[in-house]
Structure 1
């Protein structure tokens, strides 16, 4: 079976404190650089392809300390050999000229292993705190689209000119350009219409919150239909909080303990902020419009993807996600290093076996 057909795996880098759940449960996860280097090396050996750093400027929602995403990504790249690290960047604090040059340099230093996640922003309090403009919901995506078009132009053209509402370039040539061709991979997130429309025009990858295969298929079909009309292709990544244990009972018990020990005040504050952001969209809802309190205990609805159970159950569910068009699983864990290692040993081989069986079935049908 061709590896090109395999679903790929990424993990959230815990470069902010508090782990990946807003809960007071014990977590053997640390936000320090040393811990993250060991985690990245473990993930690389386990078969993960990508790592995604988080972008935060202020404390809140159980994340009291935050390392800056781009420099932290570079630090991880320096200690790994194969892993590609996706650095999160916010248009506003970052300007495309600086981001383009910064990332091109890191691309050379890492031999083509940096990527970018363009985060349009959902937390107004953070922007207000650092004195940054806070455009309305759809305007934030319009700005992000200009940001991405600027990056692509700078990375692929000499004498690049661009006259946008937010960014302008005049006969600008970046040298050296990135190692990766045609350009550094560009990821983005969001579940609103504006986010999906932007992805269908300019992004290489689209991250969506956790959800059921049925609900994900609706989003994926919409994005891909629009992308086809735009002569564009976009791959899909879905968020999932993974709880893999030897028995289903063990896995469900861990999930229940996380929820039972939720930091109620922090979860509710997070919910209020996300609802405020979503209400500003044209359709009046955003990423977390249908999220329950329990869903919000994991920032990006990771429990809803239901990668919770035995290795066999999880592998089967991953293949079901692949069937509806998911190309990448963006995973979070409670105790990162040990659980990433377990995932690589117990879950990933089963996924590859199921993918190979699926491929043989497809070949038999077409023969």
Structure 2
């Protein structure tokens, strides 16, 4: 089944995504900035926002970092339509506590909340807190047990569970979800443990930005795995968009951001030092020059309005339902995308739908 295309934005919880020394995008990770951007995104017709979770800034520790879960609760109360997806690193919250928080935000939002399970890559965030930074596969084993507890509590189950990491006895959360069985669960990560985890426990797999052929191969790999859930897995893609009237203008804008990003080299060196080298996202991001986080422009959404629209349609045909987008400068480019790209996509989809109906009608006549 092909689901309708949806578009979301990454909340600016730790400042610009492409370059930190851009005069057109001063650093601002404040609540006021994020509130304004998400409300504007909802007004423009975007379908979702992703609020990344870090307790300290992953790029430079003396920079501001918005707290994800308190911000998500506030956004839930302020918005009326947009889906609020909030990332969670399992080691930072006991699953019973997190499930209670998630249900609270789900009910504040009237059924528009989702969690994004990520198993952490930034070593200091956990190590300096005394939590400890476990080895890569151990983090995924912990995350698997953690999401098992969370998912069952979110569904209103009275739970008794004993595993390696958690011992939960006769626990139930009330009020349960008033709008559906439970909030949606997104899962990030592309390693083998991550793929197995999303196949078993996820509703949507978030894939980091990369070329279409690579994304299609990832989708085929995970979609072919057995699932305990009756509902098929859905797929999302992170991407940084640079779209202009012509491809030449888009390339020039891309080059500008690449040059600015070079100034962040000291910051990136620290980030690399703090990152678990087994994290596949970081390995993927080294394959080509790009701007943006989580793959950024590697997804190829750089070009004329028509080119970007066509590439998005190609990704959709491969199975991507939700595009979680980054821009810089954020508000201007988010508006440009909503006004120039989304209408082109809708028009192309409508035209293809008419053509398909004509072909089907002709087949029936013949």
Q: TM-score, normalised by structure 1?
A: 0.91
1:362 is displaced (CA, Å) by: 4.0
Could you tell me which of 267, 285, 288 is aligned with 2:282? Answer: 288
CA RMSD, Structure 1 to Structure 2 (Å): 2.2
1:119 correspondence with 2:118: yes
CA contact (8 A) 2:17 2:326 kept: yes
1:264 is displaced (CA, Å) by: 1.1
CA contact (8 A) 1:25 1:257 kept: no
1:355 correspondence with 2:349: yes
User: What per-residue deviation string (whole Å, max 9, x for no partner) do you get for residues 124-182 of structure 1?
Assistant: 12211111132221121122122221112112244211112222221111110123421
1:272 is displaced (CA, Å) by: 4.2
1:270 is displaced (CA, Å) by: 2.8
CA distance in 1 between counterparts of 2:46 and 2:68 reads 19
Q: Could you tell which deviates more after superposition, 181-190 or 135-144?
A: 135-144
Q: Could you tell which deviates more after superposition, 20-29 or 85-94?
A: 20-29
| Secondary structure class of the residue paired with 1:288 | helix
1:26 correspondence with 2:23: yes
| Secondary structure class of the residue paired with 1:289 | helix
Gaps of 5+ in 1: 279-285
Runs of 4 or more consecutive aligned structure 1 residues displaced over 6 Å after TM superposition: none
CA contact (8 A) 1:259 1:294 kept: no
1:328 is displaced (CA, Å) by: 0.8
Q: TM-score, normalised by structure 2?
A: 0.91
Within-5 A mapping of 1:133-152: 133-152=132-151
User: What per-residue deviation string (whole Å, max 9, x for no partner) do you get for residues 264-297 of structure 1?
Assistant: 112233344446243xxxxxxx222243386464
User: What per-residue deviation string (whole Å, max 9, x for no partner) do you get for residues 203-255 of structure 1?
Assistant: 11111111111010110001100145875521111110011222222211121
Could you tell me which of 336, 351, 358 is aligned with 2:330? Answer: 336
| Secondary structure class of the residue paired with 1:88 | strand
Change (3 A) 1:96 1:228: closer
CA contact (8 A) 1:295 1:301 kept: no
Aligned to 2:49: 51
| Secondary structure class of the residue paired with 2:224 | helix
Gaps of 5+ in 2: 362-366
Change (3 A) 1:253 1:355: same
CA contact (8 A) 1:268 1:293 kept: no
Change (3 A) 1:289 1:275: farther
1:179 correspondence with 2:173: no
Change (3 A) 1:157 1:82: closer
